[in-house]
Amino acid sequence: MPLSDACNVAVHDAILSAVEDYAARNPTSQTLHTRARSHMPGGNTRSALYWAPFPLYVSRSSGYRVTDADDHDYLDVLGEYSAGLYGHSEPVIREAIARAVERGFSNGAPGEDEIRLADLVCERFPSVQSVRFCNSGTEANLYAMTLARCATGRSKVLVFSGAYHGGVFVFARGGSPMNVPYEWIVGSFNDSAGARSLMAQQGKELAAVIVEPMMSNGGCLPAEPEFLQTLRTGCTQVGAVLIFDEIVTARMGAGGLQGLLRVKPDMTTFGKFLGGGFSSGAFGGRAELMNLMSPERPDALPHAGTFNNNVYSMHVGFSALDSVFTPERAQRLYEDGEALRGRLSAMAAKICPAIRFTGCGSIMSIHFCRRSIGRPEDLADEPVQLKRLFHLDLLERGVYAAARGQINLSLPMGKPEFDSIASAVEAALAQRASLIRAIFAE
C-alpha cells in the first residue's frame, strides 16, 4: 500500500535506526561479509540468506539454537527454511553420520539404505508407488515436470503466480529470467474457476499442473481443498499429470498435506528435510509414470546424478525418518504449529487487525494486510518495509527468523520455546504498534 509522506519518513527512520543498531552489534559478521565480497558476487552464494546491510554469519549451532560470529545466541526459527526439521544436534542423526563415516563413502554403487528410504517414502505417501532420489528440491521438480512432458508428449505446464518450485522455477513478480524455458501457463492460486478454465482451454497441450499445497515462499498461503480437487479433476479430464510440490509441506502430519486434505496427485516432489540435514531430493508417483525411467527398458529416460544415492543422505535420511520423525511425531508437530499460529494471530489482532499470521502446521508467516489473504495477489500492496523492521526487531530479541517474516519450527522445540517465540513476537510488534496503526489508519 502507498504510504503517506509522514509514514514513509517514520518507517525509514525506524529502519535506519534498527540497521545502525544491528551493524553495531555485529562487527564480525560485517567483516566476514566484506571479505566474502572479494570472491563471491555480493558476498553471497545463496540468495535467500542475504539481507541488507549484511547477513549474520553463524559460527556454531546446537539443538534449536544458533550462535553468530559475534557470539550472540539465537532461538533458530528460520529452521534452514524448513529443512532444519531435526534441529542441529539430534542424537540419532549424529550416530547415523558416525556409522556412515565408519563404513566408508563415495562408494559408486547402490546400497541398502536407499531401498529402506524408498520403502518409507512410499509407505508414508500412498500416492507414491515408486520413487527416485536426487540432490535437491529444485532437481526433483525439474525431473518431475520433464518426466510429465515426456510421458504425455505435450509441452505446456500450468503453474501459479507467486509460486516457487526451486531456483529456476520462480513465478513471483512476473517470473525470473533464470527460469527453465518451458512453455509456462500461469494461473492464479486458489482460483478454482480460473484453473478449471485454463485446463479446459489448454486441453491436449497441457502436460502437467504443479502446485504447492501451501505456497511457502509466496507467503505461507494454504491451498483451499476445493482448489486442489479442481486441479485433480481437471488433470484427469485432459490427461495431464498433477504434481504436488511437497518439498516444504511433506512435514505436515504423517503423509503431508495430500494426506490431510485427501487429494491424490500423480506425482509428488520432496526435498528439504528428507536427507536429515544432508542434500537430498526425491520425486515419485504412479508406477507407470516412474517406470519410464527404469534402466531395464531399452527406451529408458535417463536420470543420472553422482550424489543421488550418496551414503550420507540415504543412511541419515532413513535413520531420521524411521526413528525420529515418526507418523505420530509428525502429527504432534503439526498440532503444535497450529496452536502456536492461533496464539500469534490472536495476540497480533489485539495490536492491529491488519497484522496476520498465515500458514499451516509448523510453518507460518507474518503479514501486514487489511484484506483477507488467499493468494499472493492479495499481498501486492503490503508495506514490506514493516517486514524488514519486524525481522530486525526479532534479531534484537534473540530470535533468528527468515527475513521475509517466515517462522519454521523444529522437532527439539517444546512449550518453553513456543512461549519464547510468542513473547519475542509480541514485544517486537508492541514496540512498533503506533507506527503500524498509523499506517493502516490512513
pLDDT tens figures, 64-113: 999 999 999 999 999 999 999 999 999 999 999 999 999 999 999 999 99
Q: Are residues 314 and 344 in the same domain?
A: no
Q: What integer pLDDT is reported at residue 223 of this predicted model?
A: 98
- Say which residues have a Cβ less than 8 Å from residue 307's Cβ, sequence separation at least 6: 135, 279, 313
Any idea what the Cα angle at residue 190 is, between residues 184 and 195, rounded to 5°? 45
Whether pLDDT at 3 is above 90: no
CA–CA distances in Å: residue 194 to residues 63, 191, 224, 258, 375: 45, 5, 14, 22, 13
In a shared domain, residues 274 and 157: yes
pLDDT value at 1 more than 90: no
Mean pLDDT, residues 350-378: 96
pLDDT at 442: 64
The CA-CA-CA angle for residues 140, 256, 219, to 5°, reads 75
Angle at 308 between CA 307 and CA 314, to 5 degrees: 95
Tell me if 284 is assigned to some domain.
yes
| Same structural domain, 125 and 153 | yes
Based on the fold, state whether residues 39 and 184 are members of the same structural domain: no
Q: Are 348 and 429 in contact (CB under 8 A)?
A: yes
Which uninterrupted H or E stretch holds 112? helix 112-124
- Do residues 75 and 421 lie in contact, with contact meaning Cβ atoms separated by under 8 Å? yes
Q: Which three cell numbers stand for residue 58?
A: 553463524
Sheet holding 363-368, edge to edge: 355-360, 363-368, 406-408
Evaluate whether residue 84 is within a structural domain. no
Residue of 1, 22, 37 whose CA lies nearest to 70: 22
Domain termination residue (choose one: 290, 323, 356): 323
> Which of 55-59, 171-175, 214-218 shows the lowest mean pLDDT across its residues?
171-175
Of the pLDDT bands very low, low, confident and very high (cuts 50, 70, 90), residue 160 is very high
82 belongs to a structural domain: no
Strand partners, 270: 282
Mark whether 284 and 177 lie in a shared domain: yes
> Which residue intervals of 370-414 are DSSP H helices?
384-396
Give yes or no: residues 151 and 261 share one domain: yes
On average, the pLDDT of the chain sits at 97
81 is a domain residue: no
Mark whether 112 and 59 lie in a shared domain. Answer: no
| Section 155-178 average pLDDT | 96
What's the pLDDT at 7?
87
Q: Looking at the domain assignment, is residue 83 inside a domain?
A: no
**Domain boundary residue among 323, 348, 374?**
323
The DSSP output letter for 111 is: -
The answer to whether residue 297 sits within a structural domain is yes
Rounded to whole angstroms, the Cα distance separating 384 from 376 reads: 13
Are 66 and 77 within 8 A, CB to CB? no
The percentage of the chain sitting over the pLDDT mark of 90, rounded to a whole number, equals: 97
- Which residues on neighbouring strands pair with residue 285, listed in sequence order? 130, 267
The CATH number of whichever domain residue 16 belongs to comes to 3.90.1150.10
Question: Taking phi first (over 0 means left), then psi (-120 to 50 degrees means alpha), and beta for anything else, what does residue 303 get?
Answer: beta
Q: 303, 146 in Cβ contact below 8 A?
A: no
Question: In whole angstroms, what is the distance from residue 370 CA to residue 350 CA?
Answer: 14
333 band by pLDDT with thresholds 50, 70 and 90: very high
Quick one: average pLDDT of 195-201?
98
Would you say residue 218 has pLDDT above 70?
A: yes
Residue 10 has pLDDT above 90, yes or no: yes
> Is the domain of 227 the same as that of 342?
no
Query: 312 and 391: one domain?
Result: no
- Are 265 and 231 found together in one domain? yes
Provide the pLDDT for residue 5: 80
Do 318 and 194 lie in one domain? The reply is yes
The residue type found at 440 is F
Q: How confident is the model at residue 367 (pLDDT cuts 50, 70, 90)?
A: very high
Shared domain check, 248 and 108: yes
Decide if pLDDT at 57 tops 70.
Answer: yes
Q: How many CB atoms within 10 Å of residue 101? A: 11
Grid coordinates representing 201 are: 482451454
Sign of CA dihedral 40, 46, 47, 52: negative
Q: CA angle at residue 185 from 181 to 188, to 5 degrees? A: 130
Asked whether residue 99 is domain-assigned, the answer is: yes
371-400 confidence digits (pLDDT tens): 999 999 999 999 999 999 999 999 999 999
Span 415-430, pLDDT tens digits:
999 999 999 999 999 9
Q: How far apart are CA 13 and CA 75, in angstroms?
A: 27
What span, in angstroms and rounded, lies between the C-alpha atoms of 84 and 202?
39
Could you say which of 308, 323, 338 is where a domain stops?
A: 323
307 inside domain:
yes
Q: What is the CATH number of the domain that holds 175?
A: 3.40.640.10
Whether 4 has a pLDDT exceeding 90, the answer reads: no
Q: What residue numbers bound the domain in which 133 lies? A: 91-323
pLDDT at site 36: 98
Over residues 231-253, mean pLDDT: 98
Question: What span, in angstroms and rounded, lies between the C-alpha atoms of 220 and 230?
Answer: 21
If one counts the domains in the chain, the total is: 2
- CA dist 259 and 282 (Å) reads 18
